[in-house]
Structure 1
């Protein structure tokens, strides 16, 4: 093998959109979040004009070029640019590498995803919370190349074997999707009294056939619903000497995977003065909260006394309504809440009057508690399966990375080797 530097074998950031670009020039814009850690790029379905695109949309990349993330480098956002009928423009958070004649473009892509290259990128990055690397640093990274024919053989081998691995990953991902559907269908069936049905019905159509012993009650009548207004941040004295826990939508969003029912820890605090000068209110432990703006539709039960803002609707449940039963009703309704009630294109909002008119089935309190326990048992079973599949996916990803690294480093003869062992 012969050792070069990246700049010896690839052109870097050759085609960049300037401020003089035609404002009507249309393209598909790809940012860091669209490139995953195994080299896949999610090309958006819609194009944008240069005038409407973010200011960081500048890097034009041709088919076969390699994009290497220069920010948050620990995410390993490195990929080969797919073929596209529309121009693809990447964020300035990428370095675009175009192979020269001495290197096969596919081999370059695999080499850039090998462990030693990723380690070099991370080691040369500066910053702790937001590590980044300058393209000139990438240009100086050493690259060891075999002959061009051998590069192509290695790329052919890795194309075949990584496709086999990715097919296995797709199967596991479909299993995760099915488990997510089963979770929602199971919760919906139990809180609607259809425990023997696995069909996922619209949550707003529950009341077509609820058990006779159950009631049909509007959410606005179940318990007192509140939505206090946020105290002004322009009054700094209201936010000094803060001692009262203040729940945020971001914290509720963190429990959106349905594994967590209760939220007790909060990073935010408000002062007595701030609380007194707004319509925000302190609610007791056991209150059910629903995000109606940011993270609209997501819900949790408060595990301690906390204050809420106008971003929430709250239910202080009485002796005839179990907080956790209501929580699971709201979570089962979440697709419809977002699809039918949430208004706005960019920032979704659920309006309180619309929410108050929705009805849910309410069984006797003891039956509510039994349903909650059944839901927990179901979710625990699904969680164990999800954890097992996730561990398997992590192992597959590690072996995929090891196969790429070994192949580009010439650690085995690809003409007589097979990567099928990574599936075992």
Structure 2
């Protein structure tokens, strides 16, 4: 439903009906339950000895993919014969998400493109099995992808910390549809147009990935090339290879520590004190990502003092996403870290960014990850971080490399930002195109697919 034409949805009013004045006379407007079977799955991941072995298509497969086929590595489970009869996936079935912490993540559909014997619709999902006498399954899939339906699901969703749809909400959603010959044309049109958009989207994503990889390679190259310049470590000549002449982080730092455990009780979104987590550290980048922040009202104790960060502190992830590195900016204000992050505090006589860039380079990452390589450990200890050796070329060389890397980061960041904006526009364009097509707002009477061999999935 286009912005500006939105209506207030009363999800408890079964007599509510969206405006259909824009639909052509041959179009119909019916509730989903009249054009498709709709059932919530209760098949969970547990295995019971008295049930039959099956595989489950779960929430993540549906949420992350538009099409479901045999290529997925489905989860093994068990189910009763009745559950198998009701929820075994067939070609043309449509699965969509039932609940989530974000209302925008509910009602997300995926199309089953082939029969999948022994594979069942899993828990937290709805299974829609279209009445093919009335609608093509492909058309209903595109309709469920539209804003027209998403708007209804948004109005019907209930919850505070987790949003969900009831079977009644879903079954009573209104679906516009034309005669089947027109449905077929719309399906062909959307297959073609969305593929064009998706190709450009994928190319843009790859370009963003390339920019990130290029920056990561540049960090390593810059660090490595400094070995050919005048190198000094506290007055001693050293090479760039890791050796005993290079000082360990714990020997050149004021402290190497980590944050507190169990601070969830101090979460306070009205506080200005930031609580930094692993999600605030980025791959191939030393700048913190402060878009997703938690806030705390910390206790007045020694643990809080220990875990409060200062500008120039170097942060290292020591559990999940092990080895991610970040540097605390000068405008951080009051901020703390959790127990999953190590905090390195160099003295003012040491250039913090040099150490951070070194740790983010391939050489630094090799040392950081060495203790967990081989699977003998599932995380880094503070001693592991403290034992990493860092080469120090002359301070002028350090500053020159840091300045060049900062300059290149800003340039690549600008390009990435422009590409991210393009991705947002493409996503919006795709959704608007689908909505207009499945609500009869695009004249397709003369449209012919460029490729007559084009298929749906």
Query: What TM-score, normalized to structure 1?
Result: 0.76
Q: Does residue 1:140 correspond to 2:172, yes or no? A: yes
1:317 aligns with 2:349: no
Match of 2:108 in 1: 77
Residue of 184, 195, 203 corresponding to 1:152: 184
- Residues 391/310 of structure 1: CA separation in 2 closer, same or farther (3 Å cut): closer
Equivalents in 2 of 1:40, 1:195: separation in Å?
51
Q: After superposition, what is the alpha-carbon deviation per residue over 1:292-346, rounded to whole angstroms, capped at 9, x for unaligned?
A: 1245323333445766565333322124421122122222357646764347979
Kept in 1: contact 2:286–2:326 (CA 8 A): no
**1:62-211 superposed matches below 5 A:** 62-71=90-99, 72-75=102-105, 77-83=108-114, 87-101=118-132, 102-127=134-159, 129-193=161-225, 210=240
**Which of 322, 325, 341 pairs up with 1:296?**
322
Displacement after TM superposition at 1:155 (Å): 1.1
Aligned position for 2:76:
49
> What is the CA–CA distance in structure 2 between the aligned matches of 1:224 and 1:256, rounded to whole Å?
25
Aligned mates of 2:294, 2:306 — CA distance in 1: 16
Separation (CA, whole Å) in 1 of partners of 2:40 and 2:335:
54
- Supply the distance in 2 between the matched residues of 1:112 and 1:373 (Cα, whole angstroms): 50
Shift of 1:387: 1.3
The answer to whether the 8 A contact 2:89-2:115 is kept is no
CA gap of 1:314–1:28, structure 2 versus 1, over 3 A, is: same
Q: Does 2:248 match 1:218?
A: yes
Instruction: Provide the aligned length of Structure 1 versus Structure 2.
Output: 391
TM-score (norm 2): 0.71
| Other-structure match for 1:414 | 444
Structure 2's unaligned 5+ residue stretches are 1-26, 79-85, 229-237, 451-457
Q: Distance in 1 between matches of 2:340 and 2:302?
A: 16
Which range moves more in the overlay, 12-21 or 179-188? Answer: 12-21
**What is the CA distance between 1:139 and its match in structure 2?**
0.5
The CA deviation at 1:107 is: 0.4
Superposed displacement of residue 104, structure 1: 0.5
1:262-298: CA deviation from partner (whole Å, max 9, x where unpaired): 979862343334639xx95656443222221245323
Unmatched 5+ stretches in structure 1: 52-57, 197-207
1:249 Cα deviation after fit: 5.1
CA shift digits 1:55-114 (9 cap, x unpaired) = xxx965434322222323313622213447675445533221111121111001001111
CA RMSD of aligned residues (A): 4.2
Find the residue that maps to 1:270 and give its secondary structure: coil
